[in-house]
Amino acid sequence: MTENVHPTVPLTDPLPYDALLLCSFGGPNGPEDVIPFLRNVTRGKGIPEERLAEVGEHYHHFDGRSPINEQNLALVAALEEELRRRGVSLPVIWGNRNWHPYTVDTLRDAAAFGARRILTIVTSAYASYSGSRQYREHLAAALAELKADAPRIDVLRPFFNEPGFVDANRHAIEEAASGLDGGLDGAHIVYVTHSIPDTMQDASAVTGPGYREQHEDVRATIDAALAQRYGVEIASSLAYCSRSGDPRTPWLEPDVNDHIEVLAGQGVRKIVIAPIGFISDHMEVAFDLDVEALETAAEQGVSAVRADTVGVRRAFVSGLVDMVLERAARERGETVEARTAGSLPAFPDDAPAGSCRMRHGEVTGIPVIAGHED
Ligand SMILES: CC1=C(CCC(=O)O)c2cc3nc(cc4[nH]c(cc5[nH]c(cc1n2)c(C)c5CCC(=O)O)c(CCC(=O)O)c4C)C(CCC(=O)O)=C3C
Ligand SMILES: [Fe+2]
């Protein structure tokens, strides 16, 4: 039960980059932040006030505080540590889309300290409007606000099939399964990610493998690795959590709770819930999975455990640092191959023009940076 920390390429030069930005979603730090945060998240999206109040309740279960900010700070510290361990000098900074510290403020400070070229890691492993293009729209808006002081920003490609990310997820599943009677043998793994509208799924599949297909590939890769390690057949499926919006609008299904009921009806008695769609145990994981999905399983008489998200697991952090140094080398004009796990190719460094254009069936028309240009 060890994590394979992949042999790292001997790259130690971060140039042309002079900072690494972790760009994330943001979340409230206390009860008074909850509604202003939710207004930021839903600005311009036509999400009804009732839905905000309902989502706000989820946060109030946790004293109005999302775990996401601490988790991002832990990831910043882990990235700094891994860079230091490799003798790479590259400051790591943090900015969010929807709450303090806002990206624009972080970038303004970085520029004041002389940062001219910054590589961004977004905290979404998979490409879709929400996980990729929306971050690039957000970064474009921040640069527009900074005008002449704006640094140049690149964005790291989606990392769902980076070997360390896949391996860290596999390891988390093994650890969780060790808490089930008989371990993985006879268990069903329910891989979970955030649901998105069907229109967003379709748009994600226009220029390459879509959001669903990216997850299916990770599922297949982990299943194969587990089957080989344990010599057992792995039964698994992909389900979705956290759908919102108008119930008449189709989103990716099955919902994780409905799916657990179906599995229970088919006689499944042991489940590992594996939230491969998220990189940290934030609110969707804490509420939708640990509160709701585990309760559904208990009601159905199914033993269920929830695997950790990759968080700051060594294989994951090390894989991200590999990607950063490889990208830097490519920007310097060196030829460095992108390593992947699974059957899909590495996504291009810059998102293809016209990719992930649709949010809810309409083209946003919002300016972007570093790919997705129409
Ligand atoms: C694909 C995806 C990711 C993963 C990629 C990524 O990381 O970006 C993600 C992450 C997150 N989503 C989060 C929270 C929310 N998402 C919402 C709304 C929505 N998410 C969507 C998709 C995604 N979301 C969609 C299609 C909507 C509908 C409206 C829209 O088109 O945007 C709403 C509004 C209320 C509601 O309707 O539920 C909230 C509060 C948090 C923070 C959690 C915390 O606080 O710990 C995180 C990390
Ligand atoms: Fe979301």
CATH of the domain at 148: 3.40.50.1400
CA 43, CA 46: separation in Å to the nearest integer?
8
In a domain, 209, yes or no: yes
Q: Are residues 51 and 145 both part of a single domain?
A: yes
In a domain, 67, yes or no: yes
| Closest-CA residue to 351 (of 373, 327, 325, 329) | 373
User: What is the residue with the minimal CA distance to atom 20 of ligand 1?
Assistant: 130
Q: Are residues 297 and 319 both part of a single domain?
A: no
What are the DSSP E strand ranges found in the chain?
19-24, 92-96, 117-122, 152-155, 188-194, 235-241, 270-274, 303-306
Domain endpoint, select from 270, 290, 306? 306
Q: Each residue of 188-198: pLDDT tens digit?
A: 999 999 999 99
Retrieve residue 91's tokens. Answer: 């400051």
317 lines ligand 1 (CB under 6 A): no
CA 350, CA 364: separation in Å to the nearest integer?
19
Q: Are residues 248 and 124 both part of a single domain?
A: no
Q: Radius of gyration of the chain from Cα atoms?
A: 20
Structural domain total, the chain = 2
In a domain, 374, yes or no: no
Retrieve residue 156's tokens. Answer: 């790291």
Contacts of 98 (CB under 8 A, 6+ apart): 25, 26, 27, 37, 40, 41
- Tell me the ligand closest to 243's alpha carbon: 1
Q: Are residues 212 and 290 both part of a single domain?
A: yes
23 lines ligand 1 (CB under 6 A): no
Q: Are residues 285 and 318 both part of a single domain?
A: no
In a domain, 355, yes or no: no
Q: Are residues 81 and 137 both part of a single domain?
A: yes
- Tell me the ligand closest to 288's alpha carbon: 1
CA 316, CA 47: separation in Å to the nearest integer?
34
Q: Are residues 177 and 267 both part of a single domain?
A: yes
Q: Are residues 110 and 223 both part of a single domain?
A: no
> Is 190 in a helix, a strand, or coil?
strand
Question: What is the side-by-side order of every strand in the sheet holding 303-306?
Answer: 235-241, 188-194, 270-274, 303-306
Domain endpoint, select from 247, 272, 306? 306
In a domain, 178, yes or no: yes
Q: Are residues 33 and 76 both part of a single domain?
A: yes
Q: Are residues 287 and 204 both part of a single domain?
A: yes
Q: Are residues 39 and 125 both part of a single domain?
A: yes
Going from the Cα of 286 to the center of ligand 1, the distance in angstroms, rounded, reads 14
Tell me which residue range forms the domain holding 302: 163-306
Going from the Cα of 146 to the center of ligand 1, the distance in angstroms, rounded, reads 26
Retrieve residue 110's tokens. Answer: 């970085």
pLDDT < 50 regions, the chain = 1-2, 4-7
Predicted pLDDT at 147: 94
Q: Each residue of 72-124: pLDDT tens digit?
A: 999 999 999 999 999 999 999 999 999 999 999 999 999 999 999 999 999 99
Binding residues for Fe-coproporphyrin III: 66, 135
Angle, helices 134-146 vs 103-112, to 10°: value is 50
Binding residues for Fe(2+): 194, 284
Predicted pLDDT at 45: 78
Domain endpoint, select from 273, 306, 339? 306
Q: Are residues 107 and 175 both part of a single domain?
A: no
Predicted structure pTM score: 0.94
Predicted pLDDT at 7: 43
In a domain, 7, yes or no: no
In a domain, 346, yes or no: no
Retrieve residue 258's tokens. Answer: 């409905």
| Closest-CA residue to 209 (of 160, 152, 171, 150) | 160
Predicted pLDDT at 239: 98
Atom of ligand 1 nearest to the CA of 244: 37
Task: Tally the C-alpha atoms within 13 A of residue 236's C-alpha that lie toward its C-beta.
Answer: 28
CA 320, CA 90: separation in Å to the nearest integer?
14
Retrieve residue 313's tokens. Answer: 């697991």
CA 139, CA 32: separation in Å to the nearest integer?
26
Predicted pLDDT at 245: 81
Predicted pLDDT at 87: 97
In a domain, 361, yes or no: no
97 lines ligand 1 (CB under 6 A): no
